[in-house]
Amino acid sequence: MVSFPSSYQMGPVHVAPATVLAPMAGVTDTVFRRLIRQQGGCGLLMTEFTSSHGVVATERHPGRRKSKSFHYLYFEPDEHPISAQLFGSDPEVMAEAARICEDQGFDAVDINFGCPVKKVVRCNGGSGLLRDLPLVDALLKKCREAIKIPLTMKFRAGWSDEELVHVRMAKLAEDNGLAAIALHPRTREQGYAGRADWQRIAEVKAAVKIPVIGNGDVIAPEDAVRMVEQTGCDAVMIGRAASSNPWIFRQIGEYLERGSYYQPTERDRYEMMRRYYRMLADKGGLDVVGKMKQFATYFTHGVRNGAKLRVLIYQTREIEQILKHVERHFEAELEAA
C-alpha cells in the first residue's frame, strides 16, 4: 500500500480524497468542474480565478448579472465542497468580494498569489504581490476578518530564483489564520516552463502546521504519490493534466488501492467528450462554440485521428454540427477498430 493522505481538514470543511482541482482560467467553469466530479476521486473543486473588483461591481449593480465575474462564480449544488478563487490588490475590495462569495454558499475562499500573466501582474495581482509582502499581510487580515468560512491561498515560490518568499508567505498565511495553503513551486519568471521544484513544497511543509497542498508537474497518479513521499504535503492539486485526462483523480484512487489504474478506451473518450459538449450546450451562456473548440484540443489528446476531428470542430460555427462531427468521427473510428 502506497503512503498517501486519505483526507485533510480545511477548518470545518473535510476534504476527501486529499486531491484538489486547480483553478484554471478559461477551463474550470461549472461544466468542467461537474464533469470532474462525475468521474470521481476529486476532493475539492475550485472556480476560475475571478477579479475581486468584478465581483463587487456585479453585486453593486444587479443589472450586470451576465458579467464574466457572475459567470465565473456560478456553481451547482453537486459541486460541494467548492472554493471561490479571487485575485486583486485592494484589501477592502477583496474583503467585500470574499463576503459575497460566502453569501453565495461557497465552502471556502481562496486568494490567488500565483498567476504569472502580465495583465494581472501589472495591476499588482496574482504573483505580482509576491514582491509586496506587507500588502499580502493586509489582504489576508482583512479577508480573514470579513468571513466565517475557511480562507486559503495559492501562491508561487517567488518572483524569481533570487527572490524566493515561499516560506515567508506560508508563515504569513498561518499567522493570519488561513485554513490551508497551496504552493506551485515555480517562480513568476518561470511561468509554466522548466521544472517545478518540489523541495520548496517540503520547505513550506516543514515551516507551518496548517495543511499544505502541493501543485506542479503532476501528470500521472505515480507523480502524485511521489510528490507526497518527497514533500510530506497534505494533499495534491492537479491542473493542466486534468484538462486532457479528467479521469486522473479517479486513477489516483485506483493506483493507491491496487498499484495500477484504468486506462480510458477510445469509447470512454467518446462518451466523455460527448457528455461534456452536451452539458455545455444545455448550460448555454458565454460562447459555447468557442468553449467546444478550446476543449477539442484537450479532449482529442490520445484519440485516434484526433487531428482530423479538431480541424472539423475548429471550422464549424454551429453547436449541433459540432456534436454531429464528434458522433460521426468516433462511430467511424470505433467501427474501424
Enclosing H/E stretch for 20 = strand 19-21
Rounded to whole angstroms, the Cα distance separating 208 from 188 reads 23
Give the active site residue among 115, 123, 143, 233. 115
DSSP string over 48-113: PPEEHHHHHHHHH-GGGTTSHHHHHT---GGG-SEEEEEE-S-HHHHHHHHHHHHHTT-SEEEEEE
Known catalytic membership, residue 115 = yes
Q: Which helix (H) or strand (E) holds 181?
A: strand 180-184
Q: What single letter denotes the amino acid at residue 81?
A: P
Element (H, E) at 153: strand 151-156
Smallest CA-to-CA distance from 154 within 253, 317, 77, 44 is with: 44
Give CA separation, 216 vs 71, 199, 318, in Å: 27, 12, 36
What SS3 state is found at 184?
strand
Residues that are catalytic: 115
